[in-house]
Amino acid sequence: MKLYTSNRAPNPRRVRWVMAEKGIEDVELVEIDIMVGEHKTAEYRTRVGVPHVPALELDDGTTISESIAIGRYLEALYPEPNLFGADAREQAVIEMWTRRCEFYLANPIMLSVRHSHPALAALEAAQMPQLADYNRVAAEKFMKTLDRRLAEHEFLAEDRFSIADIVAVVGLDFARLIKYRPPEELAHLARWLETCRARPAAKAGA
């Protein structure tokens, strides 16, 4: 298998982190330079279907894009350690928190960074500072929700590390490109973030 990835983008890091947690070493990493538009070439679009990274090309030629879909596929092949839920209840709870973290934290942070970092202007038709500010405020609102959750739980979804934590940490780490730090008063969020960043697998592609 081949993973089309980019060290410049946050979503591929989610997959590399999943691979590192599971000790997956038999997937070839193919670096795609999104800053020069390699993900927009006709060859890449034909293979993947969309100009996005990451994408996982299987041995039979099937290509899967979207980081969570790739993570689910890898979990089916390498079930341990479990990251997506061991039974129906866990799967639903982890999915719930993963979607919340993606919609209300990771995506707003991504938009805030892309519309405020000068070097990322190449990825947008036009950077809009007001959009960056709006999304930062939206992300911080959800950070308060996470802080309340983490006051009573070690990790976001279950009593162990899961894909929900990966999605949230990668989103927050992407904000470091603009030297952003979560509000200091969110002490539980800070504790959790330090715990997750200390995991050996957190360094995968960081």
| Predicted local distance difference test score (pLDDT) of residue 117 | 73
Q: Is 159 exposed, middle or buried (0-12, 13-18, 19+ CB in 10 A)?
A: exposed
Q: Which residues are within 8 A (CB) of 62 and not within 5 positions of it... i.e. 6 or more apart?
A: none
How confident is the model at residue 100, as a pLDDT?
98
User: CATH 3.40.30.10 occupies which residues in the chain?
Assistant: 2-77
CB 68 within 8 A of CB 163: yes
Could you give the residue range(s) of every CATH 1.20.1050.10 domain in the chain? 88-203
Bridge partner list, 116: none
Find where tokens 């946050």 sit. Answer: 10
Q: Per-residue DSSP letters for 50-91? A: SS-S-EEE-TTS-EEESHHHHHHHHHHHS--S-SS-SSHHHH
* Confidence band, pLDDT 50/70/90 cuts, at residue 206: low
User: Contact 158/95 with Cβ under 8 angstroms?
Assistant: no
Q: Answer whether residue 197 shows pLDDT above 70.
A: yes
What whole-number distance in Å separates Cα of residue 125 and Cα of residue 119? Answer: 13
- What is 2-77's CATH number, 3.50.50.60, 2.50.20.10, 3.40.50.10150, 3.40.30.10? 3.40.30.10
pLDDT tens-digit readout, 110-165 = 989 888 777 666 676 677 888 889 999 999 999 999 999 999 999 999 999 999 99
pLDDT at 168 over 70: yes
For 87, other C-beta atoms within 10 Å of its C-beta total 8
CA distances from residue 17 to 10, 40, 129, 154, 156 in whole angstroms, order as listed: 11, 25, 31, 19, 17
CATH number belonging to domain 88-203: 1.20.1050.10
Mean pLDDT of 176-194: 94
Is 130 exposed, middle or buried (CB count within 10 Å of its CB: 0-12, 13-18, 19+)?
exposed
pLDDT tens string 27-85:
999 999 998 999 999 999 999 999 999 999 999 999 999 999 999 999 999 999 999 99
